[in-house]
Amino acid sequence: MYEIEFTPEAIEDLKSFRKFEQQIIISNIETQLKHEPTVETQNRFQMRPNDVAEWELRIGKYRVFYKVERDV
């Protein structure tokens, strides 16, 4: 099982959404990324190399960009 940590920037970004949107996003992050966050699915896939993130999670019209630290 993986531990999910939000960066200060991610927390600030979440504040721009309405409360019910925040709940949808956080709930999906916890559901879909706690176990096997590096397994590609229809809504979760590895991105091309870039400076933002390694992975993208699609939650309806929302996009979550994340990276996985395996050595921690």
Residue 68 predicted with pLDDT over 90: yes
> Residues 5-61: pLDDT tens digits?
999 999 999 999 999 999 999 999 999 999 999 999 999 999 999 998 999 999 999
Residue 27: enclosing H or E segment and its boundaries? helix 19-33
This model's pTM is above 0.85: yes
What 3-state class would DSSP assign to 15? Answer: helix
Is residue 54 within 8 A of residue 47, CB to CB? The reply is: yes
Q: How far is CA 67 from CA 3, 19, 20, 39, in A?
A: 12, 25, 25, 13
Strand stretches in 22-68, DSSP E: 44-46, 55-59, 62-66
